[in-house]
Every structure is written in C-alpha cells, then in structure tokens.
Amino acid sequence: MKMATYSVLSGSVALITLQNPPVNALSEAVRTGITDAVQRTLKDPQVTSVVICGQNGRFCGGADIREFAGPMSGPPLVPMIHALEAMEKPVVAAIEGLALGGGLELALGCHYRIAHSQALLGLPEVTLGLLPAAGGSQRLPRLIGLPAALDLITTGRHISASEALKLGIVDQVTDDNALKMAVEFARSVVGQPLGPRRLSTRPCHSPPDVDSVLDQALAQVWQRGRGALAPVACVGALRAAATLPYAQGMEKERELMATLFNSGQARALQYAFFSQRVVGKWQPSGARWDNSTTRTIRKAAVIGLGTMGRGIVVALALAGVSVVAVESQEKQLAAARQMVPEMLQRGAGRRGLDTPPGVISFSSGLEDVSEVELVIEAVFEDMALKRRIFSRLATVCRPGTVLCSNTSGLDIDQLAEATQNPALVVGMHFFAPAHVMKLLEVVCGPRSSPEAVATAMVLGKRMGKVSVAVGNCPGFVGNRMLKPYMEQANFLLEEGATPQQVDEALEGFGFPMGVFRMSDLSGLDVGWRVRKEAGLTEQGVEPTRMRQGQRYSPLPDQMCEGGRLGQKTGRGWYRYDGPGGRVARSDPWVQNFLETYRARHGLVPRRIATEEILERCLYALTNEGFNILQDGVAAGPEDIDVIYVFGYGWPRHRGGPMFHAGQVGLARVLEKLEHYQHSHPDVPHLKPSSLLRRLVAAGSPPVQKWREFISKDRVHSQL
Ligand SMILES: CCCCCCCC/C=C\C/C=C/C(=O)SCCNC(=O)CCNC(=O)[C@H](O)C(C)(C)COP(=O)(O)OP(=O)(O)OC[C@H]1O[C@@H](n2cnc3c(N)ncnc32)[C@H](O)[C@@H]1OP(=O)(O)O
C-alpha cells in the first residue's frame, strides 16, 4: 500500500511514516498522506512534536521518477515541505538507509535531522537531468554554505552520514535505532525556538568572492558536462540562492526546473536510469537474475598480464577474489609484479580500504591455475593462441572450472570447441582500464550453460560492473556497432575531412573523445590486428579501396605500416610530445599523407559539414544496433544503450544510440540512411536495417515498446 501513515506515540509525538516500497518515493499517494498528516498534527493539541521516517529502514529515495512521464497531479512538493517547515511544533527527520533528492529536500524542510551511520544522503537530481526543485537548491546553501552546496548539487554524489554530519546537514548520527533516537530528540526540543531552524529564513553565507566562485563552478560544469544542461541550471539556481532573497530564489528554481523538466535531456537521463535497471533483470540462455544457480568465486586466474589482464587482476582482487596472475613472457611478468600492487593500493584507497580484500600470486605457468574456480584469459586477439590456451586449461583445471575469455570480438564458440566442456565457456569482455571502466559484456556462446553465464554476470556485479548479457557474433554488441562508425570516419577522411574536423563534430555531440583521438589512445594496432585476422589487410602492394566486394579504407592500415600506432609511438592521427605523450596536436604530416592518398586514388576533396559527419557516423552505428536487435544479439534497446553509455563514452544526457534515434525520429534516421546509401551504394552498413523499416511502418513506437515489437519479429534469438 503506497501512502504515508499517521500515528501518535505516547500521546505527544506524531509519527509520519512514508510507505512506498522499495525506496519510499514521494508518489502522489505519499504526498497526499504527508499533507493530511500535517493537517492532523496541526489540529491535535496533544501533539507537541513530529517525527518523519520511512518504512523498512529507508527514509526516502526522492520524487517518484515514474510520475515524471505523465501529467502531475496531487499535492506539489514545494508547498508540502513549506507547510512542514512553517509548523510551530518541532519536526525531526529520522534518516535511515537513504535520503536522496526530494527525500533530502523533505528532510531539509524539517527542523532537525537525525541519521543512522549507514545512511546515504544526496541530491542526485542532476543525474536525472533536473535540479533539486523542492527548495533544495535554496535551503542547502543556507545550511552548509555555497561551495559545499555547489559540489553536492552539481555532482549529485551520495555522501555518508558522517560526511553529512561534518558538513552540518544532519544534527546527529547514531549506530543505534535512528527512529528511537529521533523520537527522544523530538521530545527534548519541545519549546525551543524554531525560527533559527527554518532554513528558508536564514541568510545564505557566501564567500566574499562569490561571483568568481560561481563563475569557476560554471566553467567546471561546462567542461565536465559535455553539453549537459542540468549542471549549468544547478549553478544558476545556486547563484540565485547566493544573491537573491529566498522567495525570489525559489521563483528562479521553479523557472529553471520548468525548462529542464521538459527537455529531451531529462527524458534521456531518466531513460538511462531505468535502462540500467532493466538490464539488471537479465535472463539470457535460460539464466535469470533472480533465481539462477551460480558458482561462488573465491579464487580465479587471469592469463595474460598486458594492460587488460593487469586491470582485470586488480578488479578481481578489489572484489575480494584471490587471484593467480599468469604471464609467460618474463618482461611482462616483471612489469605486472611491479604495477599491479601499486594499482591495487590506489584502488583500495579510492574505496577507503587500508588493505585490498583479495590476495594476488604471480606465476609464469598455466599449471598454477589448477585450484581456481574461474579463469579469465586476456591474451592478444589471436584465435590460434587463445584456442591453445583453452585446450590446455581444459586439462589443467579442475572439472567444473568456468573458462572465460576477455576477447573483444572473437567467436566464443570456437574457443569453447577447444575444450572438453563447452558449456563452461563464456566471454567476459572488459573495457580498458578494466579496474576502472564500469561496463562488462558477458558473451553467451551457443553452448554456454545458464550456470556459467549467471556466474559471470554475478561476478561482474560483484566487481562493481554493469554486466550486460550479449550474444556471440563478431564484435558482440559494442565493437560490432563501432565498426561502421569508424568506417564512416575513415571514409570521411578520404572524401576531404580532417581528423580534427571529425573529432570536433563528435566531441561537440558529447563524446569525451572523437574517433581519431580515441584510436590514438587505444592504439591503432588493436584494430589492425583484427583486420589482419579477418584477412582484410593488403600489406606491401598498392592497396585498393575495395575488399570482399565492399568499400574499404586502407588509411588506418597504412598508418600502422608506417609505425604510427598512436600515443604509444608519439605519432598517430595526431602528434604527441614523444611516445606516451597525451596532448594531441594536429600534424602536418597527416594532412600531407591524406592529400597524397586522395591524389593517388583520384579522390577530389570536398568541404564536409558537421551535420554530415554526425549523421553518417552516428546513424551507421545505430543502424547496426537495429541489426543487432533483429539478430537477437542484444535483448533490447536498453542493453545497447547501457553498453554505449558505460563503455563507449556516449553522452548519458543523450540516452544512448537507440534512444537518440527515437528522439531524432525513426523516420528521419531512415530517410538519412537511404539518402547516404544512395550516394555510397558500395557501403552495406548504410543500408537501412529491416527492423528500422518495420518500426517506422508501425508508426515509430517509443523505445520502451520496441522490445515486445522486436520479440514478435525476431527469427531466432541468441539470448
Ligand atoms: C514544470 C515543472 C514541474 C516540476 C515538478 C517536479 C517537482 C519535483 C520537485 C522536486 C525535485 C525532486 C526530484 C527528485 O527527487 S528526482 C529523484 C531523486 N532520487 C534519485 O535520483 C534516486 C534514484 N534511485 C537510486 O539511485 C537507487 O534506486 C537507490 C540508491 C535509491 C536504491 O538503489 P538499489 O537499492 O540498488 O535499488 P534499485 O536502484 O534497483 O531500485 C529499486 C527499485 O526502485 C525504483 N526506484 C528507485 N528510486 C526511485 C524513484 N525515485 N522513483 C521511482 N522509482 C524508484 C527502481 O526503479 C527500482 O525499481 P525497478 O526499476 O522496478 O526495479
């Protein structure tokens, strides 16, 4: 039952309990319940104080985000909180579990706040494309000062009860029963003046250089936000708090919220929030998020200690898994022995731990993995080498050991074939740096058992990853979609664009790095190795611009042949201050290289508009997403969008590629793909997906409806 209940304890303390599981969000029924309870409190002369708490040890997770999709009805939050604050009887918030967003704003309207030591507090509205518009942007700076409020409101970060106490957000923290303590506290403050406890009546203490503090904050959110509107609006609301009387500040808060509330960005960010939860309810290959048998992993091995392997070792150890780290090359092993403990210590420090929970041992031979429960292979993308390792693992490991590969796109089934028990083989595709990046693609091979898949999914979650189950095909989901995107970027260079121009267009869209800067960072040889494996490169001869009957750009292969591998060689699509340099500068050599290339192939360069760059790169990528959905390689558009937001730098405020296509309009995306395919008939990736066509024919249903639509049309699903 969703509501807020009213009861009176020992005849004098009114208790208002929010009841809306699982997080006691402030739905219409809850707001109605609070409003009614306030009226009853006012009318009851026996009641001398009030305590507000949440059912089941959770104070409140904020406004009910699901209600944002429809018309607003019921008592609004602002007057409701104002009525609480205006009461002449002391009101105490008993904060257990969490007080987030509107939940904390409600607590800020109370006269006192008592928190349990394990509670988390915060104003995360900015992460949903909004601002704390129930007075939070005006009350918080009046309580803790402008700089601290700027930090909390523009980042949306959650803080512990002890940090909240230090900042002055809560009055007391307890390890015992916070509700009991709040009730005692409420009784003890009856009769004390409430004026100073009403935050709306306090002045906002701002530093003397208030303008420069606000300007600096604005510059920072611009730089961090990559085009996100909400952080900028948050600074605007805090500027109002610092410079205007409370009532005018509230008016500004309302205006800014109205703009954000109806923006595409707020819709995208709220979609991103729910997508992550949809993806968390995985059910691939007969496995299920809520009732699968899984193996508990206490000891694991990582094979190959390059950059990826080292990161995986650290991520496992931080999750409390003991790791056998194996590397056959002496030099690489020595480097890992030195680097891994340092990385681990830093990772533990970031989590506030003195010592990392997992123990790591190093080895140069596979025989040392015989006791582990799960192995993650992380050697080069070389199928023959990986198969040799898997075949050896199958003999060395105990029966039942789950065998995983960190391949970024090779066939999991071929690896499984090299073992005696293919059901135990799954892909665990991490993203670099593996101990930092949140995404994990768990690749379900056609023969992977539900138990092996569920074990990898659960282990990923334990490692703090957002695990997404995907099917087995070249590149899986993320890299399969990246291929047409990068292909278009290379074609654009052939046609007249420069790497900077393409990168600036993509960075303007909101990616942290354009495609060429990103290639330089990850190393051009990564893709080169994959193309060689696929038989696409033509080293030594004058390369053609067609391969296997399709347009192909040999530009990146030629860069690699010339030793320009990116940052690691100090030269790539940009030049750097030497190997390992980080600052990209435009390189006249590249300009000359492109001009010579175009001349040799008879290509006449043309001016290419930013719009074309974005449409060709992004729609080619999205089109592949539709093909992936059609093939059953991803369970739904949310899975693809989560992968792109967490693994590929897709700006979260644009929801993800599939959501973005819906926002642009599926009919428009289709029309543009048709247009570009007409001009480039030799590029199959521009051929509109039949699923896209069917969705358009069905009237372009919203992205949340695609799943049911797709499942009807799917020939077969890998998941
Ligand atoms: C014209 C202008 C009009 C303006 C009118 C607007 C007025 C608004 C005024 C004030 C602004 C206030 C805004 C807000 O408060 S926005 C909400 C802020 N709160 C949050 O961002 C918290 C979001 N939730 C979380 O971060 C987490 O869920 C958690 C930390 C609370 C709990 O995490 P965990 O235990 O891991 O559980 P899940 O994440 O899996 O969640 C469980 C379940 O609960 C659903 N849920 C969580 N929070 C909310 C919520 N605030 N509203 C609705 N539903 C919520 C979540 O979706 C899960 O459900 P499932 O999807 O069905 O599994």
Where are the domains positioned within the chain?
Answer: 4-262, 299-470, 497-600, 610-718
CATH 1.10.1040.10 fits 610-718, yes or no: yes
Could you count the other beta carbons within 10 Å of the beta carbon of residue 691? 21
What DSSP line would sit under 5-26, residue for residue?
A: EEEEETTTEEEEEEE-TTTT-B
Q: What is the mean pLDDT of residues 437-456?
A: 96
Residue 464 pLDDT class (50, 70, 90 cuts): very high
Kindly report, residue by residue over 299-321, the tens digit of the pLDDT: 999 999 999 999 999 999 999 99
Q: Which of 62-66, 67-71, 490-494 has the lowest mean pLDDT?
A: 67-71
For the CA of 103, the closest atom of ligand 1 is 15
Q: What is the mean pLDDT of residues 7-26?
A: 96
Sign of CA dihedral 56, 61, 62, 66: negative
30 lines ligand 1 (CB under 6 A): no
Q: Give the residue among 279, 646, 655, 649 at the shortest CA–CA distance from 438.
A: 646
124 lines ligand 1 (CB under 6 A): yes
- On the question of pLDDT at 539 being above 70, the answer is no
What DSSP line would sit under 515-557, residue for residue?
A: HHHHHHHH-HHHHHHHHHHTT---TTS---SEETTEE---HHH
258 lines ligand 1 (CB under 6 A): yes
CATH 2.60.40.10 fits 4-262, yes or no: no
Q: Give the residue among 444, 419, 458 at the shortest CA–CA distance from 300.
A: 458
Distance in Å, CA 449 to ligand 1 centroid: 34
Distance in Å, CA 242 to ligand 1 centroid: 28
Distance in Å, CA 130 to ligand 1 centroid: 12
**Ligand 1 atom 62: residue of nearest CA:** 277
Per cent of the chain over pLDDT 70 is 98
Residue 352 pLDDT class (50, 70, 90 cuts): confident
136 lines ligand 1 (CB under 6 A): no
Can you tell me the distance from the alpha carbon of 717 to that of 719, in angstroms, rounded to the nearest whole number?
5
Can you tell me the distance from the alpha carbon of 305 to that of 530, in angstroms, rounded to the nearest whole number?
20
Which pLDDT belongs to residue 691? 94
Look up tokens 């768990």; give the residue: 442
125 is catalytic: yes
As a residue count, the chain comes to: 719
Can you tell me the distance from the alpha carbon of 299 to that of 358, in angstroms, rounded to the nearest whole number?
9
Which pLDDT belongs to residue 635? 95
**Ligand 1 atom 26: residue of nearest CA:** 61
Choice from 59, 65, 652 to test ligand 1 binding pocket (greatest atom count within 8 A of CB): 65
Contact indicator for 240, 249 with CB cutoff of 8 Å: yes
- On the question of pLDDT at 495 being above 90, the answer is yes
Active-site option among 85, 88, 96, 125: 125
Kindly report, residue by residue over 541-583, the tens digit of the pLDDT: 667 888 888 899 999 999 999 999 999 999 999 999 999 999 9
**Ligand 1 atom 46: residue of nearest CA:** 23
Q: b/e string for 566-593 if b means 16 or more Cβ within 10 A?
A: bbbbbbbbbbbeeeebeebeebeebeeb
Active-site option among 85, 105, 253, 327: 105
Which pLDDT belongs to residue 544? 82
Which pLDDT belongs to residue 712? 62
126 lines ligand 1 (CB under 6 A): no
Which pLDDT belongs to residue 715? 58
Q: What is the mean pLDDT of residues 671-675?
A: 98
Kindly report, residue by residue over 83-128, the tens digit of the pLDDT: 999 999 999 999 999 999 999 999 999 999 999 999 999 999 999 9
Q: What is the mean pLDDT of residues 359-374?
A: 96
- pTM (predicted TM-score): 0.96
Q: What is the mean pLDDT of residues 492-517?
A: 98
254 lines ligand 1 (CB under 6 A): no
Kindly report, residue by residue over 205-218, the tens digit of the pLDDT: 889 999 999 999 99
Q: Give the residue among 425, 429, 447 at the shortest CA–CA distance from 439.
A: 429
Look up tokens 């995306």; give the residue: 669
Q: b/e string for 511-530 if b means 16 or more Cβ within 10 A?
A: bebbbbbbbbeebbbbbbbb
Q: Which CATH class is domain 299-470?
A: alpha beta
The DSSP call for residue 689 is: P
205 lines ligand 1 (CB under 6 A): no
Mean pLDDT of the chain: 95
Residue 220 pLDDT class (50, 70, 90 cuts): very high
Encoded tokens for 112: 């006192």
Which pLDDT belongs to residue 198? 98
- On the question of pLDDT at 1 being above 70, the answer is no
85 is catalytic: no
Can you tell me the distance from the alpha carbon of 101 to that of 161, in angstroms, rounded to the nearest whole number?
15
Kindly report, residue by residue over 194-203, the tens digit of the pLDDT: 999 999 999 9
Residue 713 pLDDT class (50, 70, 90 cuts): low
Residue 358 pLDDT class (50, 70, 90 cuts): confident
Which pLDDT belongs to residue 535? 84
502 lines ligand 1 (CB under 6 A): no
- On the question of pLDDT at 251 being above 90, the answer is yes
Residue 11 pLDDT class (50, 70, 90 cuts): confident
Alpha helices in 351-449 (DSSP H): 383-396, 412-417
- On the question of pLDDT at 452 being above 70, the answer is yes
Per cent of the chain over pLDDT 90 is 91
Q: Give the residue among 442, 482, 707 at the shortest CA–CA distance from 617.
A: 482
Distance in Å, CA 61 to ligand 1 centroid: 6
For the CA of 132, the closest atom of ligand 1 is 11
Instruction: Name every residue whose Cβ is closer than 8 Å to that of residue 48 and which is 6 or more positions away in sequence.
Output: 12, 13, 89, 187, 190
72 lines ligand 1 (CB under 6 A): yes
Can you tell me the distance from the alpha carbon of 200 to that of 663, in angstroms, rounded to the nearest whole number?
39
289 lines ligand 1 (CB under 6 A): no
Which pLDDT belongs to residue 354? 81
Can you tell me the distance from the alpha carbon of 510 to that of 490, in angstroms, rounded to the nearest whole number?
20
For the CA of 257, the closest atom of ligand 1 is 2
**Ligand 1 atom 38: residue of nearest CA:** 277
- On the question of pLDDT at 239 being above 70, the answer is yes
Kindly report, residue by residue over 253-266, the tens digit of the pLDDT: 999 999 999 999 99
Contact indicator for 450, 286 with CB cutoff of 8 Å: yes
Same fold, 497-600 and 610-718: yes
**Ligand 1 atom 60: residue of nearest CA:** 277
> Which ipTM did the prediction report?
0.98
Can you tell me the distance from the alpha carbon of 702 to that of 679, in angstroms, rounded to the nearest whole number?
30
Kindly report, residue by residue over 401-416, the tens digit of the pLDDT: 999 999 999 999 999 9
Q: What is the largest CA-CA distance in the chain?
A: 94
Q: What is the mean pLDDT of residues 165-189?
A: 98
Which pLDDT belongs to residue 147? 96
Pick the CATH number of 497-600 from 3.90.1170.40, 2.40.30.10, 2.40.160.40, 1.10.1040.10: 1.10.1040.10
319 lines ligand 1 (CB under 6 A): no
The DSSP call for residue 398 is: P
Instruction: Determine the 3-state secondary structure of 633 from DSSP.
Output: coil
Residue 41 pLDDT class (50, 70, 90 cuts): very high
For the CA of 76, the closest atom of ligand 1 is 7
